[in-house]
């Protein structure tokens, strides 16, 4: 895949429009058009090169070729087994294991999911860099959404602003969370900001960013509970901070007051469901994956 390409068909409602406006309606930004013009992209109508001032006719076929992307020199490709749940030419959905960072950092420059995905791209001849839409903490497992091109990433970013990318997690937390009938649902609406004494840790604080987590107890035992959680916002460490805030820290999460229990040596958090509207295929998609072995062992 040398260049990322999108194809559109003009309808009766597009007659007489400038190509610039036609593409704006399809959320192709002015910055993307400049990139196309100066960095090796192309705009074709019915197979011929045109400019954005072209006047549209009903039935026109528009092809938008974006420039080839090059990954950052700071990111090196690596061979890595990937659990690919779904892939097409626009998106990649991967089930990330615990213990693998999403992107390189000072502490983990290599062996990250980004390194592995870039290695996979190289092996398949895909000329793209890494565009992670939904990132996970190093010790959180589960589904991650990755866009294969910056424009696809842009479309997902617009969707995220409207809460169009939905995630459901399952966690094991300290304490027996139960209500009448043995089940309980609730919402934690508490702003999150960086803790002043740490560059890593977050906390609930009045001047933090708006953060909302919805939870439902799936099972409650003496000493721990199995909880389903949905995010309305996506702050760093949001679930971990919010559950600790209501005095139910995640098992194994020693950063936020959790302790090792029943063999859980990392935060017991798994991204088990991912839903989004495919911005190119224009259809709703939902993916699920089962809990990893360490969490299943606790559940018995």
Query: Half-sphere exposure of 80 toward its Cβ, with a 13 Å CA cutoff?
Result: 25
Write 207-214 long-range contacts (CB < 8 A, 24+): 208/235, 209/233, 209/235, 211/235, 211/238, 211/241, 211/242, 212/187, 212/188, 213/187, 213/188, 213/238, 213/239, 213/242, 213/243, 214/185, 214/186, 214/187
Query: Half-sphere exposure of 18 toward its Cβ, with a 13 Å CA cutoff?
Result: 6
Angle made by CA atoms 133, 135, 140, in degrees to the nearest 5: 150
- Provide the sign of the torsion angle of the four alpha carbons 249, 250, 251, 256, taken in this order: negative
> Could you list the active site residues?
137
């Amino acid at each position: 895949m040398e260049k990322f390409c999108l194809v559109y068909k003009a309808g009766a409602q597009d007659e007489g429009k400038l190509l610039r406006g036609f593409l704006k309606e399809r959320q192709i930004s002015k910055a993307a058009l400049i990139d196309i013009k100066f960095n090796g992209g192309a705009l074709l109508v019915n197979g011929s090169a045109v400019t954005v001032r072209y006047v549209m006719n009903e039935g026109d076929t528009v092809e938008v070729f974006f420039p080839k992307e090059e990954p950052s020199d700071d990111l090196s490709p690596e061979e890595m087994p990937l659990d690919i749940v779904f892939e097409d030419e626009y998106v990649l959905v991967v089930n990330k294991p615990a213990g693998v960072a999403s992107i390189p950092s000072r502490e983990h420059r290599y062996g990250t999911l980004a390194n592995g995905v870039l290695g996979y791209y190289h092996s398949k001849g895909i000329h793209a860099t890494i565009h992670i839409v939904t990132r996970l903490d190093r010790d959180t497992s589960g589904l991650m959404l990755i866009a294969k091109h910056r424009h696809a990433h842009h479309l997902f970013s617009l969707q995220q602003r409207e809460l169009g990318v939905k995630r459901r997690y399952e966690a094991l937390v300290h304490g027996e969370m139960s209500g009448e009938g043995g089940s309980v649902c609730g919402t934690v609406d508490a702003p999150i900001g960086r803790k002043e004494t740490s560059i890593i840790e977050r906390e609930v604080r009045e001047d933090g960013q708006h953060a909302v987590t919805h939870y439902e107890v799936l099972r409650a035992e003496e000493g721990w509970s199995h909880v389903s959680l949905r995010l309305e916002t996506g702050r760093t460490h949001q679930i971990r901070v919010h559950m600790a805030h209501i005095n139910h820290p995640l098992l194994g999460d020693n950063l936020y007051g959790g302790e090792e229990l029943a063999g859980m040596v990392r935060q017991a958090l798994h991204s088990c469901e991912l839903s989004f509207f495919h911005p190119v295929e224009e259809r709703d998609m939902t993916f699920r994956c089962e809990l990893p072995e360490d969490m299943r062992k606790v559940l018995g």
